[in-house]
Chains A and B, each alone.
Chain A
């Protein structure tokens, strides 16, 4: 059952009244985006020409395409043939891929109006969308605050009504944390559910593409479109894609929901705790069986993540050397100088920090102590989830320990910034699907997100629980189009 309030449905209705997508609709849409985005900067840039050209192509598509004409924003680390795909880094400021990412092909084939250029932390390293070389994105609810990150632009654009949905990437919470901070729905699918082909890699074993939407129904629809095996990604999994939209509107009586006690310890703000506890009460009232569970290795997740993710990143980012594409320093003295100067001039502070961290932990003599140990811890964390999912169908936790903080508030203390992802990181380490749904407003008027996690490839459980919660909690934003 699809919700009448679905943003995508509203969009479709709107489009039915304006069948000439390529002319009036696109012109109005771009004007609308530009007007709203002045204060928010959800987009690092807008390529009007390409969006208009795409609209002309969409007009020729059959009317029954699932996303025909629906504006979908794309985080700037997903390759679109011919479009600037910069990871919001000076390093790739002029980079235009020669191919389309798998998810872009999927969106095209369903007729979505792809809009590139959503702002993000440089190379997706960050939790606040402040490290972009295009400057920070602002939270549409309170522009003095960050939108979360790294898919900050993607969450802000959906929240501000600039696009119907957006596509982000999540390595340690980069979809869920900004979704939570902007009061929208963010989904990180199971590792392997959506092809990573064309996603500019941050940490290959953790990265996953997912949708950010206004509500759960749209999330289900988007996941149906994005999912599926892709032979170009060896980590994508060859299993059928269920009709996620069929999980909507289902009763959750008897669904066993675990509440891991390790997610309610220190560091969590009182506002967040209260809203999440209320949300658990709502789920209980809906007939779910609430269980206390333990994920004992949770406390090692952040340390483990900050070994593995930078290690993979240090290798993934090695290709940006000024030789073949991207930024090259002027007049290098020799080859080594070309490497050093190009990377030194074009990478931001946080990128350099993580490359150094990763290079260090992979170095001979340290590998066993750091990387190998982190991999063992990662296995333990996965096992925790595995045994938890024997007793329950899903787990609920806060998405982030706090609501959106102020711009500049944490830029000087990386560790504090890293802790913003303390509750989202474990799902990436375990490869399991996790979703953030709005669960109310804290005392500071900022939204709080409820994170729901399920076993591998059990996204339909997330949809079912999240949708039931959304409908009865009354937290779903009423749409203004």
Chain B
């Protein structure tokens, strides 16, 4: 069997979360009643004209700068002509030969942990189409035009990824960057991030690229990886049988886990691009780019570096803390109040993210402020309450919104560190567990843990385990 190099390029569509649509004043929202967020302009009514939403254009520039792209100094739009019922004008306003951004980079880590730069060919601003709803049981389909005119940034990568994992990593990193910028929620389920993959194989080490196949209908990160894995195998088999790869567009069938042919290159449409006469090209002022650049938030890679330096956290912690901008911010806000970096990191990684996952909310919507979070950790670390109780307090704060201090007081959760108060319990435990006491005396360390556990149980979790252990040892030895 021959060896092949896999070549993958991704086209990613990111919906920009502006207040209004890209060429009209309609609200840009998801999940509204069909055809309720529309106006004559986005419905493509005769006589209407597009007007560029400045915010959408600024968002696009933000992404361009974050991807280290060159920003096109003249903004020009073009019409992409094709007929489809989700496209009311039967042309899409897009950018053809002068994309808003070009020549960028997305850095990923390959399998060996080395940094690999994937080139970004271009990113251009365009309007989204509406949605067709099939599966109605009837002999017709419904058209919902709420999405029509949502600002969309299409980001095209260079064909520089060589494995499904790299493609996956590229998407993860791209999503993280865009989310850090706060210009899109990048939700693949809601379609605010969509992706098509171009895949080709070539004999190992060859210069020339093989015929490329475009895969559409990738609705999750997982689908992207699985579809590419499948497609690479499919193409390999054909090539091994001395077959030819047809240049075509294929659809990923999630249920069957296969790709199926949608249209061949010959059937590819001629979009008859030409400059959009309704939007006058305009020059981007240097000052605007500079002010956007100045206001760019610290991106994940820079943050990771800084966290390592300032907080001395291990790699694993960094990865988790900076995966979402909100998480990283929450960490920093907490350590500002209680600078026990590793403790705070542990609590976020463990308890906090568990609640985030359980509730399906982001860290800021859980109802725990960094102040309260800091207070809980501090109480636990100082020994005022046990770790177990602290977890309980966090849970209660999330559920009831009550202040941690008052939960502790009301629930009388404060730890018994007072040896006087623990004396009785220790005495009872020692007298009731003769066997373990003897075991410990004969050198079995584990027996002490058991005895401490008994003290904890008797004290309903309030005993400070350290203090209890110390008292037991003294008593027995």
Contact = CB atoms under 8 A, between A and B. Distances in A.
A324 B130 CA distance: 13
Interface string B76-93: 000101010100111100
Given A234-B278, A315-B81, A319-B88, A98 B49 contact: no
Given A362-B272, A364-B270, A319 B51 contact: no
Given A99-B40, A235-B280, A367 B274 contact: yes
A472 interface: no
A97 B274 CA distance: 27
A323 B143 contact: yes
B44 A324 contact: yes
A318 B47 contact: no
A434 interface: no
A195 to B, nearest CB: 9
Contacts of B272: 314-315, 359, 362-364, 367
Contacts, number: 95
B43 interface: yes
A321 B88 CA distance: 9
Interface in A196-225: 196-201, 203-205
Decide if the interface of chain B is mainly helix, strand, loop or mixed. loop
Given A234-B278, A234-B279, A235-B280, A315 B79 contact: yes
B48 interface: yes
B88 A197 contact: no
A235 B90 contact: no
A403 B143 CA distance: 50
Interface string B253-284: 00000000000000000101110011110000
A359 to B, nearest CB: 7
A459 B26 CA distance: 36
Contact of B277 (A79, A204, A362, A363): A204
B49 A319 contact: no
Given A79-B47, A97-B46, A321 B83 contact: yes
A373 to B, nearest CB: 13
Decide if the interface of chain A is mainly helix, strand, loop or mixed. loop
Given A205-B277, A323-B143, A359-B272, A197 B45 contact: no
A312 B277 contact: yes
A78, A92, A101, A197 pick with most chain B CB within 10 angstroms? A197
Interface string B125-144: 00000000000000000010
Contacts of B366: none
Interface residues of A, number: 42
A149 B79 CA distance: 29
Contact of B47 (A198, A205, A325, A362): A198
A95 interface: yes
A231 B90 contact: no
Contacts of B46: 79, 85, 87, 92, 95, 97, 200-201, 319
Interface residues of B, number: 28
B52 interface: yes
Contacts of B43: 324
B50 interface: yes
B81 A362 contact: yes
B88 A324 contact: yes
Given A234-B52, A315-B79, A97 B45 contact: yes
A288 B272 CA distance: 48
Contacts of A101: 47
A439 to B, nearest CB: 33
A134 interface: no
A99 B45 CA distance: 10
A234 B49 contact: yes
Interface string B8-46: 000000000000000000000000000000001001111
Contact of B90 (A196, A201, A321, A325): A321
Contacts of A234: 49-52, 278-280
A367 B88 CA distance: 24
Interface in B293-307: none
Contacts of A232: 49, 51
Interface in A283-321: 311-312, 314-315, 318-319, 321
Nearest to B279: A234
18 contacts: A79-B46, A92-B46, A97-B40, A97-B45, A97-B46, A99-B45, A99-B48, A197-B47, A199-B47, A201-B46, A205-B277, A235-B277, A312-B274, A315-B91, A318-B91, A323-B85, A324-B88, A339-B83
Given A200-B46, A205-B277, 14 more contacts: A79-B46, A98-B40, A99-B40, A197-B49, A198-B47, A235-B49, A318-B81, A318-B89, A323-B85, A323-B88, A324-B44, A362-B81, A362-B273, A367-B274
Considering the complex of A and B, which 3 residue pairs feature the smallest CB-CB distances, nearest first? A318-B90, A205-B277, A204-B277
Interface of B: 40, 43-52, 79, 81, 83, 85, 88-91, 143, 270, 272-274, 277-280
